[in-house]
Amino acid sequence: MMKFFYFLLLVSLLQSCVVYYNTNDMRNSMNNNIAQIEQNYSLTKNDYLEKMKLYQGLESNVLDKNENSFKLISIKKSEFDATYQSLLDEKEGILSKQKQFEKLIEGKNEIKSNEKEWDELKEMKATMKTSSNQLNKLGNSYAAASNNLGDAINNSQYKQIKRLEFKKQIKDNTRNLNQSIADINGQIKTYSQKLEIAKKDGQMNDSTYHSKTDVITKMSAELNKLKSAVKRITVLESSFQLKNKKQDKIWIGENTKSNELMKKIEYLINDINNGQTEIQVLSGKLNNSEK
């Protein structure tokens, strides 16, 4: 879980036993604190921009913005934006106070307790302390809002896939399937030849011959279905790549632009799995039937 902390360690601008302040010491202390604030804010800004890019990518690929899952994400996004803006406003307020401080001490090496700037420094000290505490709270609120948005996306129906990895996966699977189809086709041809020789030589009765021939015919039909499905997957995957060629990652899932195409690919994969199972069953029948 991400957590950001904002600390403004203020030098004490007022001590009852001190009758003047060294302005250079105060400036150095404040500059160090501002530098730490800017460093911490830089981490927050990077996270904000990353989450914004993630959300905008999803939003541009969603078909129905009123779909419940996306509506929940949008609510979390609005809360996320609000906390970020509040944090930014508070940070800018502190920077504005820094400028006021510089203007107040301009041309002065020290400020004495009997000078009019003394009371202004007291007031500025109180204001800066309040801002420091508020910035801490806002940092925690932002971290929670960022995590909530991330969780809403990660736990939704929407998922991202890497386009080139998906292409490689389909390519590898279809290559293996084509090799498997070729092997099975070769086995069917070999078995058919042996079947005909056994029938011709009188080593197999008509009933067994017709039974095994029927099994071989069914295996060939299933094999042709596999070939067709593999070709269709290749075509669909090419279409998928063409439509998303400008994107490294693609949003998929119900209610996305790519969902229909992905569903077709999933259906074909399911058909292939069923076809392979059926071929295994038929192969078992072929091997176990009596000669």
pLDDT tens string 125-142 = 788 888 888 998 999 999
pLDDT over 90 (residue 119): no
Structural domain boundaries of the chain?
20-156, 160-288
pLDDT over 80 (residue 114): no
User: For residue 285, what pLDDT band results from cuts at 50, 70 and 90?
Assistant: confident
What's the CA gap between 122 and 108, in Å, rounded?
Answer: 17
pLDDT tens string 205-264 = 888 889 999 999 999 999 999 999 999 999 999 999 998 888 899 999 999 999 999 999
In CATH terms, 160-288 corresponds, of 1.10.10, 1.20.120, 1.10.1740, 3.30.70, to 1.20.120
What's the CA gap between 225 and 279, in Å, rounded?
Answer: 11
pLDDT over 50 (residue 9): no
pLDDT of 289: 57
In terms of pLDDT, which residue wins out, 285 or 186?
A: 186
- Quick one: what percent of the chain has pLDDT higher than 90? 58
Over residues 265-284, mean pLDDT: 91
Helical ranges in the chain per DSSP H:
23-59, 68-104, 117-154, 163-200, 206-243, 259-288
**Average per-residue pLDDT in the chain?**
87
Over residues 64-71, mean pLDDT: 96
The residue behind tokens 């736990």 is 155
pLDDT of 116: 81
- Which residue from 137, 88, 124 is spatially nearest to 11, judged by alpha carbons? 124
In terms of pLDDT, which residue wins out, 110 or 63?
A: 63
What's the CA gap between 80 and 237, in Å, rounded?
Answer: 36
In terms of pLDDT, which residue wins out, 83 or 126?
A: 83
User: For residue 1, what pLDDT band results from cuts at 50, 70 and 90?
Assistant: low
Of the listed ranges 2-6, 78-82, 158-162, 230-234, the least confidently predicted one is 2-6
As beta bridge partners, residue 162 has: 249
